[in-house]
Amino acid sequence: MKQEECKTNLTTSVFGSEEMLKSAPVDKIPQCSTTPEIAYNIVKDETFAQTNPRLNLATFVTTYMDKYATKLMNEAIAINYIDETEYPRIAVMCAKCINIIANLWNSPEQAKWKAGALGIGSSEACMLGGVAAWQRWKKRRKDAGKPCDKPNFVISSAYQVVWEKFAQLWQIEMRVVPLTAEKLTLCPQEAIAMCDENTICVVPIMGVTWTGLNDDVKALNDALEEYNKKTGYDIPIHVDAASGGFILPFINPSLEWDFRLKWVLSISTSGHKYGLVYPGLGWVIWKDKKFLPESMSFSVNYLGAEVTQVGLNFSRPAAQILGQYYQFIRLGFEGYKAIQHNSMEIAKYLHAEIGKMKPFKNYSAEVTNPLFIWEMKKEYSKQCKWTLYDLQDKLKQNGWMVPAYTLPAKLEETIVMRIVVRQGFSRDMADQLLGDIADAVAELDKLQYPTTSRLSIESNVKVKGTVYTHTGK
């Protein structure tokens, strides 16, 4: 197509343009340019039918920030954090955030600038914590003249997929302590039983993705103290606090899970979860700089000066740092406490009300973080013609995303649903959700014939929840 043929009538309305008669590009860049208004609407329309982010109760990530936070982040959208020589104040702001988070977790480090690192998300933060533990272990083994080719770490079966990635990418054996109906969190004794001289760390989780529960880090620390003393090992703890790291300091400050414990040497969290910042942002903090191996620091001099960085990624957005620092200043300790308290109270309210509904029972009697799961009563399930997968589909028709899924190994027969309550979810919205759940149950109970998912379960065929792909296949 010739250039002169690529003409857009600038006086034509967006929906009167020729572009509105064409499908959005799939395989090739369009030959011709168009107006920003038309391009905007084409992209906007591609996402028009999606769930409103605030109705997405499956996600843990922040879906609401005030207009000033959004303005700050939008103004910083072009800033690459890695260019510390060009944007030195951003680097200082990042260090301030690390200090604030470290002190929230009772860091004993006396240095002016605490030991920590920025991540694109908590997955990167987890990996950095794992790599540091691996590097420290490897150095100790080499210094002692011992082999270092068979490292392992210990975690419960409720691990988030990042730990599977970590094990695969760094070829580190992942030893999994299975959860059971009787043991809903990591059993310290079973974890210790899996440890040996090749164990780089044990990973408890605060705010388990699958259930919302917390592992008992204090009990694990005490068990490790005894084990390390008996064996002469130095097996540490890395706490995966992706959710709990920004909840527990505000709603349960007396709970010992952080750097107050001897063997907790590193903690990771998501700034874009209960840190209340738009994605993606993760943080990892070490108890002291001596626990952050020098081998993890990399320097380059082609950005105008020598820049040293700890991280898996290189270029990374600076906007999230501004968003995090803004939230710290804007909300303060009491503001964070109020928001997390409200999220907890609404989660407890939903937990209690859903537990009263005839078909359901809560998986756990308590709510330890602003998220919880429930299942269908066995006696109810035997006589009804639907499953929780069908309830998920019904709620989706009203815009709600409430996931249904099976629990990890040893519990995979149990189908549950989960609600994650975050900033931006009000009591009024909770009442609307409860009403929609009740209406959906009433409608499903009227079915004369079993649904496809019910037939599959009765035939012992594994059922999967809604599966999404990038190709639509």
pLDDT in tens, the chain (473 residues): 555 567 655 666 777 777 777 878 888 888 888 888 888 888 887 776 666 788 888 888 898 899 999 999 999 999 888 777 777 889 999 999 999 999 999 999 999 999 999 999 999 999 999 999 999 999 999 999 999 999 999 999 999 999 999 999 999 999 999 999 889 999 999 999 999 999 999 999 999 999 999 999 999 999 999 999 999 999 999 999 999 999 999 999 999 999 999 999 999 999 999 999 999 999 999 999 999 999 887 766 655 566 667 778 878 889 999 999 999 999 999 999 999 999 999 999 999 999 999 999 999 999 999 999 999 999 999 899 999 999 999 999 999 999 999 998 888 889 999 999 999 899 999 999 999 999 999 999 999 999 999 998 877 777 665 544 444 44
Q: Specify the pLDDT at position 7.
A: 61
Integer Rg of the chain from CA: 25
Q: How many CB atoms lie within 10 A of CB 152?
A: 19
User: At a CB cut-off of 8 Å and minimum separation 6, what does 365 contact?
Assistant: none
Q: Specify the pLDDT at position 305.
A: 60
Domains of the chain: 70-327 (3.40.640.10), 342-458 (3.90.1150.160)
Q: What are phi and psi of 306, to 5 degrees?
A: -70, 120
Stated pTM of the model: 0.89
Q: Specify the pLDDT at position 30.
A: 84
What's the per-residue H, E or C state across the chain?
A: CCHHHCCCCCCCCHHHCHHHHCCCCCCCCCCCCCCHHHHHHHHHHHCCCCCCHHHECCCCCCCCCCHHHHHHHHHCCCCECCCCCCCHHHHHHHHHHHHHHHHHCCCCCCCCCCCEEEECCHHHHHHHHHHHHHHHHHHHHHHCCCCCCCCEEEEECCCCHHHHHHHHHHCCEEEEECCCCCCCCCCHHHHHHCCCCCEEEEECEECCCCCCCECCHHHHHHHHHHHHHHHCCCCCEEEECCCHHHCHHHHCCCCCCCCCCCCEEEEEEECCCCCCCCCCCEEEEECCHHHCCHHHCEEECCCCCCEEECCCCCCCECHHHHHHHHHHHHHHHHHHHHHHHHHHHHHHHHHHHHHHCCCEEECCCCCCCCEEEEEECHHHHHHCCCCHHHHHHHHHCCCCECCEEECCCCCCCCEEEEEECCCCCCHHHHHHHHHHHHHHHHHHCCCCCCCHHHHHHHCCCCCCCCCCCCCCC
Are the CB atoms for 87 and 79 separated by under 8 Å? yes
Respond yes or no on whether the N-terminal peptide bond of residue 280 is cis (omega within 30° of 0). yes
Cα gap 203→188, rounded to integer Å: 11
